[in-house]
Structure 1
């Protein structure tokens, strides 16, 4: 059962709404303006809740055909008109933003003078439409299984070691050793990762961090809420030894997560995630430097995920996403409107207080798969 939103959570709703579409974050708010903030997760888990709706195969089938074109059709047939109206509204807002950004891009031939703002509007529309479609499917199948919940606290330190395989027709490298680490201290998160291809002269290093602008720190959520907004920054270095060049750059942006139970009770256990920012990059060649060595890149990603587990040590999450960047191992997908980013699915699951696994699959102009073992210092509670 969701609680009345505190001022910080209400502000977060506005921030995420601006990132997606005006007013979108308020679509699911029914609680009054009064305090208090969310109560501890233990109280939420023990509080009585209304019975969850039973799974019905016909509405679930209609959510796919023709529900993927008319979001909310399955829940409407099932009698949940409130959720249907909200999903229809999100779909309509997404299509509207796609038209506002996409039509000028087509008419101007993707002019460099206007492509940046128009791409941002069009990507926001695509993200909103995609998230609405995913929520539509989740609402149809969610009654068939108990919903997961975010961990009330994440470990102060995590390290992971794994293997990454890259299939890229343009390059010979294939096998990588993957190493990563994350440290959390109150509202600050520091993270770094290295992918190294032994004997193939290819290495990618990323060092960055984030500051929790809104929402409870990851180490002390203290409630069944994962909604948050972070400011992020990072530096990236990628060396292509045999090809004779290297890429380096810095980037900054914001990333927001919104627990979809705020939109509808049927969406409990799922979340939407959106990020936006800019990257400034340069290419250094081992020979003469090209005039186009310096450039900037719009960063944008969106995804729909589910929490895994609710009580006990088995806890994690899975996310299906799109990332608009093209300088990572998957590259970008060529399309009629230019070069898009890549699609992916990642997951993280702790099997005990200290040990877990994580994985990531990505598809763009290249295909990337990674699997890692995760060790938590301090344990995940």
Structure 2
């Protein structure tokens, strides 16, 4: 057996089959490239679902982690540490907010936002106890905890996990009239992805986010933007909401905030919202740990330069121009996205999204499918135009191969 076959066999035998990874075994990575255990190189066009916005092994991020490893890695929130206040200050400034509640994973941050909205609804808005409602969109993906999948419309993620958590109403994504009809006196929050990633990089109609912002402000309802995938440079702006000049009440952040080094997530909001918490009411042993704060601080410093937002905008324009050329042929039925982020719908005659991903892997390009017919393209923002074009040429080869 090859090293690849041995590793995959061990994983198949001893790990739960909750993922269906492509049959590649990565050993090293740098920038936008990964190398497998056999020495084959692959262009990473997925970037860990946007967790690797700044590429593999970014020196500033690796150095920040190494320096912190020699100092202190964990104190728990039982004590203060010297990076925590600095991190909270920097992140609130980046977001234009006042307070941070740090966690680890994206799903933890979403769960924290849901709890926050309910507590705010009872303590500040005055919703009767047990009546709080949160409005969400269909085709959403906010994580896979029991509460989150309770308002999922993806049966693959939802089936066999009931009984489900009540208190949510699902409306069509992009339908402002449906949203307006759903928001009532018991609604405490609207939770949305500014662009739906797992659903296939779905961009809402122009004016939708601004309309939700107006509605939530008029009805005294929190607008919570899940920018875990869409945020921190991916779409050509620091936050995807900025494309409609929208500032939500709550940012939910994760993935790229950890720089591809450690899991870091956060809920960022005003003092009026996050100020509802008192000691002991919510927490996380690892949330806001020194190592996480050190890396996230460097991520924030990188974002302040605007370099990667500009790169994502510029290269994203090129990416979408090239992908849109493919929609004129028989292989691609639709292309969506913004910045260095795209969903490409493959015609059934060409194959499934999984089959196209496997063919691309054979040519040295790594992407991943979603919802059967779609492949997602989201390279690290450090990718060069030359490498991006090389990857797109491989895609054209796959789509036109007999």
Larger RCO of the pair (alpha carbons < 8 Å, separation 6+): 2
Q: Normalised by the size of structure 1, how large is the TM-score? A: 0.22
Q: Which has the higher helix share?
A: 2
Q: Normalised by the size of structure 2, how large is the TM-score? A: 0.21
